[in-house]
């Protein structure tokens, strides 16, 4: 719904400005296990893309090649006009500042408060010493509280993160990513550990950030119905290869089965027709 209201395909392509490009990217683990093979795709500024595919298909690897948590074995990754395939040290930090990341298990520092976790988003821009000491400027603190409020976490701002619910933790994760003022947000199974209600809140927040701040979002998802509902474009990954790349309208049942390498009626989506349907 969000998709059809705000975007048409033409508009999207009209504003086309590539922010990310994968050229013949492959990733081998231990020199033999192929996690990605010959992956090619281009992402435009402001797109909301879902990556779907079975567990172990290489979705997480693909996402982590973008911010170089994983080094690619072959090929080129171009981000924001720069070849980042082999950048190191300071240059790599610059890339990572521009890409926020959201995780399935939130990956917060549980014993610190919400606002401290959100402020971690500024560490990349800080000097080593002031980052170590946790010394933040008034402007940074003000921004952190604004972001916390926009995600509806004002009451939790001073609470320790281990006192929060899953949905709240994930909102802290989003806040931390936004705090970086990124150009791109990578989401690795952001709703896989959440109930349907919290999942909707998280996906709505991501869609809103994408819309209002024009931040590109790439989201790994297990739920095909969620991908269909929220994204402008879906990439289907299977066995380390891209087997589908197109708009949600083009994603047929057949293609879904091809992505998940299953026969018809083997998938949960065949049964329910989408548990997130309103």
Partner 1 sequence: MSSKQMSVFRKRKITYIAAFAIILALYLFSSLITEFHISEGVRAFPDAVMWMAEKLIPDAKAFERFPKILEKLFETTLLSVAVTVIAAVCAFFFSLLGSKTTRLNGIINRLVRMIASFFRNVPDVVWAMLLMFSFGQNILTGFFALFFTTFGLLTRAFIETIDEVSSSSIEALNASGADFMQIVFQAIIPSSVTGLITWVLYMIETNIRSSTLIGILTATGIGYLFDMYYKRLEFGSASLVVLSIVVLVILIEMLSNMLRKVIQ
Q: Coil, strand, or helix at residue 218?
A: strand
Q: Which is nearer to partner 1, 27 or 233 (CB)?
A: 27
Greatest pairwise CA separation for the chain in angstroms: 57
CA distance 244 to 57: 13
Strand order in the sheet with 216-221: 99-102, 184-188, 216-221, 48-52, 233-238, 241-246
From the CB of 92, what's the least distance to partner 1, in Å? 8
The answer to whether residues 245 and 237 touch, using CB atoms and an 8 Å cutoff, is no
Q: Which is nearer to partner 1, 60 or 231 (CB)?
A: 60
Name the minimum Å distance from CB 178 to partner 1: 11
Query: Considering the rule CB under 8 A, would residue 131 count as an interface residue with partner 1?
Result: yes
Token pair 């948590």 is found at 69
Minimum CB–partner distance for residue 56 and partner 1 (Å): 19
Letters for 56-75 (x = contact with partner 1 by CB under 8 A, - = none) are -----------x-x------
CB 144 within 8 A of CB 115: yes
Q: Are 74 and 276 in contact (CB under 8 A)?
A: no
The reply on whether position 190 binds partner 1 by CB under 8 A is no
Q: Contacting partner 1 (CB under 8 A), which of 180, 199, 232, 238?
A: 180
What is residue 46's three-state secondary structure? coil
In the list 17, 86, 132, 268, the residue contacting partner 1 (rule: CB under 8 A) is: 132
105 binds partner 1 (CB under 8 A): yes
* Contact residues: partner 1, CB under 8 A: 67, 69, 93-97, 99-101, 103, 105-112, 120-121, 123-126, 128, 131-134, 173, 176-177, 180, 186
């Amino acid at each position: 719904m969000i998709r059809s209201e705000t975007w048409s395909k033409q508009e999207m392509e009209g504003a086309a400005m590539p922010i990310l490009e994968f050229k013949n990217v492959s990733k081998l683990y231990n020199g033999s296990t192929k996690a990605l093979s010959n992956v090619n795709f281009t992402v435009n500024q402001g797109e909301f893309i879902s990556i779907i595919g079975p567990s172990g298909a290489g979705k997480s690897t693909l996402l982590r090649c973008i911010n170089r948590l994983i080094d690619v074995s072959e090929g080129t990754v171009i981000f924001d006009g720069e070849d980042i395939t082999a950048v190191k040290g300071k240059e790599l930090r610059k890339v990572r500042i521009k890409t926020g990341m959201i995780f399935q298990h939130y990956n917060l520092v549980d014993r610190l408060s919400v606002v401290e976790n959100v402020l971690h988003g500024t560490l990349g821009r800080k000097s080593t010493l002031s980052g170590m000491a946790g010394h933040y400027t008034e402007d940074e603190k003000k921004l952190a509280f604004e972001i916390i409020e926009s995600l509806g976490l004002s009451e939790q701002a001073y609470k320790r993160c281990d006192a929060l619910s899953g949905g709240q933790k994930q909102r802290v994760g989003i806040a931390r990513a936004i705090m970086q003022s990124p150009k791109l947000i990578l989401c690795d199974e952001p709703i896989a550990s959440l109930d349907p209600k919290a999942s909707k809140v998280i996906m709505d927040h991501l869609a809103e950030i994408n819309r209002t701040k024009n931040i590109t979002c790439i989201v790994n998802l297990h739920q095909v119905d969620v991908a269909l509902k929220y994204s402008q474009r879906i990439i289907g990954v299977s066995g380390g290869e891209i087997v589908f790349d197109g708009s949600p309208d083009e994603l047929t049942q057949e293609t879904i089965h091809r992505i998940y390498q299953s026969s018809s009626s083997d998938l949960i989506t065949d049964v329910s027709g989408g548990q997130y349907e309103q």
